[in-house]
Amino acid sequence: MNLSVEQKQPEPVVLVKPPSTPPFYLMRSLSDIRNDLAGYMLRMRETFGPLVRVHSVLRKIYLVNEPEYIQQVLVSQGDNFTKDVMMRLLRDHILGEGLLTNLDRDSHRRQRKLLAPAFRKKHIASYAEAMVDYSERMAAEWKPGETVDIAQEMMRLTLGIVSKTLFDADVDDDAADIGEALTQLLEYFPKLVSPLAPLRISLPTPGRKRLFDNLQRIDDTVLRIIQEHREDPDKHGSLLSLLLQVRHEDDGSGMSDKQIRDEAITLFLAGHETTANALAWTWYMLGKHPEEWDRMAREVDDVWEQDLTPYEKFQKLSYTRHIFAETLRLFPPAHTIGRKSLESFSLGSHEIPGGSMVLMSPFVVHRDPRYWDDPNTFRPSRWEDGSTDNLPKFAYFPFGGGARVCIGEHFAWMEGVLVLATLARQWRPALIPGQDVQHQALITLRPKDGVWVTLEPRNNTGKDS
């Protein structure tokens, strides 16, 4: 009967405000946030649950660490969000309108479409050789018994790889110069995690002067490299040469030098910092878990015995990939992803106003015991024993998601796996005993005082010498 049909109508959802911290919570936690945003996010999740409003007079801030809600923010309601204030500062003061910091939806889409072909698996495969080649060069430089900070070594290596693939430049003064200037810029950045950041950056302080001097160094170098590429048609194959050739579908226009500069610096920064940190954490985990090292070394020796191209090697190194995946779970370099809502929106039964800052943390969700058995344990075999098969979307999202998902994801997987394997074929980086490496959460999650190892040569028979 009609009546019974009416009775089955779902109840209208009553929207309620999400739980909130006590008043003035943000002011009290500012130094905590500046020192360790990832740790702060984890403590907030443990204290208040996966959705909480952080009370602040100046801003509406929500911490969202529920996979279903993250999916809504990044994907299904993605058009209602723009990037947060941090990205605005990065855009205005460092990166310009490159992909990462382009905040205009249409212009971002247009730009992403232009760059996408260069990052498809097929094109990225051609970089496998440079990845192996640069790792072999590092392996040839290392000395038996030498003690190194492998975090620094990974920074140097990924910088070399990105310079080669991006600029078709060998590691030379240019690359080192840009790398150093970018590192200094990132170190200045935590100072900007403050409601007074826009004011601070406009005052003529020594920090600001250094910032602008570094930017000038980067600009001069990148613009010169672009000019050299324009003048030398033989420079093929690099990402930069692709950027110079691409044309918009609609009007056939290419990119201006300013646009290419912005994209190049963005890729330079986004393409080496993150992967270097992920690799540093992986060596740390391998040092702490000798049984995982043994299994990876066996796989590497096995694969190297076969006559394969670098890309084919990458495809065969499945356990090495699990090791990298597990490190990205526990130590996701992009530990927190921020958005700002344009209009008010709802997450489940919770109503959240327009203009809110929404912070989502892979670092937190990747350690949520509801999704991960023994969440704090490094266990790469979880990626092959079926226990990760039925995870909800966004229980694991080291590369973000939706329209702004990392464009370099395939690049990063391939680089991570090939660097690990190529170095592990010849060397065992043995952790200096007693190290308890803490993290430092600047923009990326880094090992705080590096990861110190002694380099032990291997005899390449599957056993260590």
Which residues are at the interface with ligand HEM (CB under 6 A)? Answer: 83, 99-100, 112, 266-267, 270-271, 274-275, 278, 332-334, 337, 398-400, 404, 406-408, 411-412
CB-CB contact of 114 with 410 (8 Å): no
Tell me which residue has its CB nearest to ligand HEM: 408
Return the exposure string of 224-244: e unless at least 16 CB atoms fall within 10 Å of the residue's CB, then b.
Answer: ebbeebeeeeebeebbbbbbb
How would you class 184 by CB atoms within 10 Å of its CB: exposed for 0-12, middle for 13-18, buried for 19 or more? middle
Strands 452-457 and 51-54: unpaired
* CA 417 to chain centroid: 16
Please, what is the minimum distance in Å from the beta carbon of residue 270 to ligand HEM?
Answer: 4
Tokens for 333, please give them.
Answer: 């370099």
Strand partners, 338: 359
Comparison of 228 and 409: residue with beta carbon closer to ligand HEM: 409
Residue 62 carries which side chain, given as an amino acid letter? Y
Which candidate, 356, 194, 343, 163, places its Cα nearest to that of 265?
163
Where is 443: in which H helix or E strand?
none
Q: Rounded to an integer, what distance in angstroms lies between the CA atom of residue 21 and that of residue 40?
A: 13
- Alpha-carbon Rg of the chain, whole angstroms? 23
User: Which CB, 78 or 457, lies closer to ligand HEM?
Assistant: 78
Please give the biggest Cα pair distance in the chain.
84
Closest approach of ligand HEM to the CB of residue 3, in Å = 49
Q: Minimal CA–CA distance to 363: which of 54, 53, 36? A: 36
DSSP code at position 95: I
In whole angstroms, the minimum distance from the beta carbon of 119 to ligand HEM comes to 7
Shorter beta-carbon distance to ligand HEM: residue 99 or 159: 99
The smaller minimum CB distance to ligand HEM, of residues 150 and 407, is found at 407
- Closer of 48 and 404 to ligand HEM (Cβ): 404
> 178: phi > 0 → left, psi -120 to 50 → alpha, else beta; which?
alpha
Q: Name which of 361 and 426 has its Cβ closer to ligand HEM.
A: 361
- Expressed in angstroms, the distance from the first to the final Cα of the chain is 81
CB nearer ligand HEM, residue 84 or residue 455:
84
Q: Least CB distance from residue 70 to ligand HEM, whole Å?
A: 11
We find the least distance from the C-beta atom of residue 408 to ligand HEM, in angstroms, to be 2
Supply the minimum distance, in Å, between the C-beta of residue 44 and ligand HEM: 19
Cβ at position 334, least distance to ligand HEM in Å = 4
Please report which residue ranges of 142-256 form alpha helices under DSSP H. 150-167, 173-188, 197-202, 206-231, 239-245
Buried b (16+ CB within 10 A) or exposed e, 130-142: bbbebbeebbeeb
Residue with structure tokens 């540093």? 280
Residue among 99 and 453 whose Cβ is closer to ligand HEM: 99
The rounded Cα 427 to chain-centroid distance in angstroms is: 26
Cβ proximity to ligand HEM: between 424 and 455 the closer is: 424
Q: Which is nearer to ligand HEM, 408 or 429 (CB)?
A: 408
Cβ-based nearer residue to ligand HEM, 21 or 102: 102
Supply the minimum distance, in Å, between the C-beta of residue 286 and ligand HEM: 16
Which tokens is 312 given? 């084919």
- CB under 8 Å to 72, separation ≥6 — which residues? 345, 347
Phi, psi of 429 (to 5 degrees): -80, 105
Question: Min. distance of Cβ 246 from ligand HEM in angstroms?
Answer: 15
**Shortest distance, position 116 Cβ to ligand HEM, whole Å:** 9
Minimum CB–partner distance for residue 118 and ligand HEM (Å): 9
Contact by Cβ (8 Å): 299, 317: yes
User: In this complex, which beta carbon is closest to ligand HEM, that of residue 65 or of residue 426?
Assistant: 65
Q: In angstroms, what is the minimal distance from the CB of 394 to ligand HEM?
A: 12
